[in-house]
Chain A
């Protein structure tokens, strides 16, 4: 295991992107950080800049406006980065599948490591997703 990977596993820093979701996955992600679930005790911290991130949490179907920004974010991310898609919309576009401004699920544009289904997934499920990804390292 390389030094970079070892550091990543010890305390994964998470950056969160909404590519057109309805907010619910986003507030559930935030929920996971607050006292009931409190993932910060495992070193999982939400960071303000993509350049500090080890894990990218993406929620929402990709809209036309957001796509260039999403690609740029992925390019700016320090590698190795793990990408986790949260919610039914990000996985397979969900109920917005036929929308004219929706141009596909996240994995059509950037490589994805894990999918957390649900509308919205409960914080426990999101934590389980992150833990599973860390387990594969």
Chain B
């Protein structure tokens, strides 16, 4: 007998609303319906009423956590249209802000994943370690979350030279803490039992669904827009694309943890180069951009969740004539359709969260008995509780051995 469990559209602890309906047979998930579009704000159309220089402020509000990646992809698109290359200094500053964002986003995800499986300590620790990253972002860009750093032709402001020692110190401390977190994940038998072989999305399925970012790389699908498109400074820096093979929740966590190390490596190199350059002038930061000629441009950047794609078309006016945005979560959320099948309800929350979507939606869970039409309501807390109880059960059985 198949029952339906609606999850959503609101979730008390996360981001945008989304709506999943799980069809369950006993404990096993046999189908899932996904409804998105709750926070549709019409950004593409709004963008056509803003000038070229105002659009970055709008697109960084597409998603609060990818608020460096969207403007980055947008300015790359306009620069592609103009066929210009920005100064080295601007490229390094762009990379620093984008990688700091990746650090805080991945730490945020690890924390939330810990919360989902009932390790609230991990949640608190990760978010504690995330704070210094936000402090540095505030010192460098002026705001903890919306950075307003990117601008067509360069960046808005320099990284102050006196901040560079602080950045290095923060990175050194974060490296140790991230190392500790990674080892904790790799060593803990309970985390292994909860996440290994759960929510598997292999290479072929990644390809079929067009999965992006860490979701795809965990399944061995080698895609990274920073390398594939030789984005700005990334071409000359020394860093690696992290790949795993199994595509389960465990690998998704490992990919994100290891990417944190890569991000730290990238920031260190950029900071070294900036220090060697010394303080810059206004001309070093941004190119003089006059009229935007008619034409079209593409911009691609690897956000923490995957590839962000922006397309702009100009008719020679002072506003984009068309601006198309594609965010990675759209592809990744749809992979849940495959990856939750045949796993237990207690795992469904974790699997859907593992793509780091804006899985955001479990304000209340109601169960519908399709045979009798009977409906009863569980709080969202019950879903997390179900997941946490499973962890507790595994922990006890492991202790018994």
Residues of A that sit less than 8 Å from B by CB: 15-28, 30-31, 34-36, 46-52, 60-61, 63, 65-66, 69, 73, 94-96, 98-102, 119-120, 122
Contacts and interface: CB of A to CB of B under 8 A. Distances in A.
B380 interface: yes
A23 B146 CA distance: 11
A27 B145 contact: yes
A19 B10 CA distance: 9
22 contacts: A17-B363, A20-B17, A22-B64, A23-B64, A24-B61, A26-B14, A26-B15, A34-B124, A35-B124, A35-B128, A36-B128, A48-B384, A49-B363, A49-B379, A51-B379, A65-B37, A94-B61, A95-B58, A96-B61, A98-B49, A99-B46, A102-B42
Contacts of B380: 48-49
Contacts of A26: 14-15, 64, 360
Contacts of A46: 12-13
Contacts of B39: 18-21, 60, 63, 65-66
B49 A21 contact: no
Contacts of B58: 95
A30 B127 contact: yes
B12 A16 contact: yes
A51 B64 CA distance: 28
A100 B64 contact: no
B41 interface: yes
A31 B127 contact: yes
A22 B42 contact: no
A19 B363 CA distance: 12
Interface residues of B, number: 47
Contacts of A50: 363-364
A6 to B, nearest CB: 25
A60 to B, nearest CB: 7
Contacts, number: 139
A49 B125 CA distance: 25
Contacts of A27: 15, 64-65, 108, 145
A23 B49 contact: no
A28 B128 contact: no
A71 to B, nearest CB: 13
Given A120-B145, A120-B146, A96 B65 contact: no
B45 A100 contact: yes
A126 B193 CA distance: 39
Contact of A23 (B43, B65, B384): B65
A18 B18 CA distance: 11
B72 interface: no
A20 B17 CA distance: 7
A49 B377 CA distance: 11
Contacts of B45: 99-100
A23 B15 contact: yes
A99 B146 contact: no
Contacts of B43: 96, 99
B131 interface: yes
A95 B38 contact: no
B40 interface: yes
A22 B14 contact: no
Contacts of A35: 124-125, 127-128
B46 A98 contact: yes
B381 interface: yes
B74 interface: no
Nearest to A60: B39
A124 to B, nearest CB: 11
